[in-house]
Structure 1
């Protein structure tokens, strides 16, 4: 059994943003249970479950440090304590208003404006918690290299276990899996209309540790640690 952990940002379980994102992908990672899709477009498309299969595996979130296995000698308790201490020393980050956008072939919520504070937090999470990350397996590296990566991104992959960090980081909260070219804009527009009533800045006031018990299982929330700062 290969356990993986990830450091994510996510709203509280009673936040409208959490409800929107979790309902859209059909899974609540806080309660570790499936959710019925809401009624209406695009959720009532007959293939919506298939289109959201990938984000359902990870739960609704924004990545700060991508999934990793624990390094030899590190324990789950060690990781949780380190995240608790780190979060307590960091101020909350006001993420600019999120907008529904297409990123490549999938749809996600992304900040409408650049946030240097968010970029700094994500970069620090990558660096500080890398001591807990086991070296990437050759199989995982080969899987990542199937995507078109720049030389810099390949360097990030080898050094940090994930290609999209630092200069290549773009905060996003995934709402769909890969879509065909003709589906991207209609799905984006429909989700943007559904999201509009709750569109506002996202206060990132906690760091969350997600856990995946095995590769064929879904991530669940293991711990939520409030920012202090």
Structure 2
């Protein structure tokens, strides 16, 4: 079993609903949805392009998936998660947009926001004591030979290459899209996410995701509001 600390809107948030319909699975409920129609792209290609984000569930990575360190219990992790959420104020990213990171599409901030960077690294540091060291196989999966020196150092220290100065907040919407399909994909994503594209994004909660066994879909184990929205608390069994 692996755990991860992610940003996710709440289960009932319109963005969560729109993303679940696009990806084909709701990580809160397990509900599945038909493959969305994208003009100019075959359904089987759309299904393949959403496979990875569908398995992980709609989210932005803060603390990447990890196995529990020896001697640690899930109950301790949950208690730390609750304490962190209770003392961390909610805040707002002024503008999020449908963008591209390399060849994959994601909902991203329009620029780097220091508050977002700081909170993300706080999560990395806070939950590091719960993380078991990466195995040699896990390290190899990250293709360390393709990482720059800072990213390799992050991988060795924190179990993930993209933290602190190398962190870029993104809520993944596709896998790697071939350049010839990218214009059609962008048009469809901008249409589907028009209500959120170019709008503020409230960072008002955190989610504890669980992967029951390697390769299985991640699901939301707990979702908690950050400090200023405690009256909206939601808990998943």
Q: CA deviation at 1:202?
A: 1.4
Equivalent residues in 2 for 1:106-125, closer than 5 Å: 106-125=104-123
Q: Distance in 2 between matches of 1:222 and 1:166?
A: 26
> 1:43/1:74 Cα in 2 relative to 1: closer, same or farther (>3 Å)?
farther
Equivalent residues in 2 for 1:28-107, closer than 5 Å: 28-41=26-39, 45-107=43-105
Q: Distance in 2 between matches of 1:203 and 1:62?
A: 13
Q: Distance in 2 between matches of 1:35 and 1:182?
A: 26
RMSD of aligned alpha carbons: 1.7
Equivalent residues in 2 for 1:139-150, closer than 5 Å: 139-145=137-143, 148-150=146-148
> 1:147/1:97 Cα in 2 relative to 1: closer, same or farther (>3 Å)?
farther
DSSP-derived class of the 2:68 partner: coil
TM-score normalized by the length of structure 2:
0.90
Q: Which deviates more, 34-43 or 133-142?
A: 34-43
Q: Distance in 2 between matches of 1:113 and 1:146?
A: 27
* Structure 1 gap ranges (5+): none
For 2:22, the equivalent position in structure 1 comes to 24
Q: CA deviation at 1:37?
A: 3.5
State the number of aligned residues.
Answer: 227
Equivalent residues in 2 for 1:125-144, closer than 5 Å: 125-144=123-142
For 2:218, the equivalent position in structure 1 comes to 219
Q: Distance in 2 between matches of 1:94 and 1:42?
A: 35
The reply on whether 1:177 has 2:175 as its aligned counterpart is: yes
Q: CA deviation at 1:147?
A: 6.9
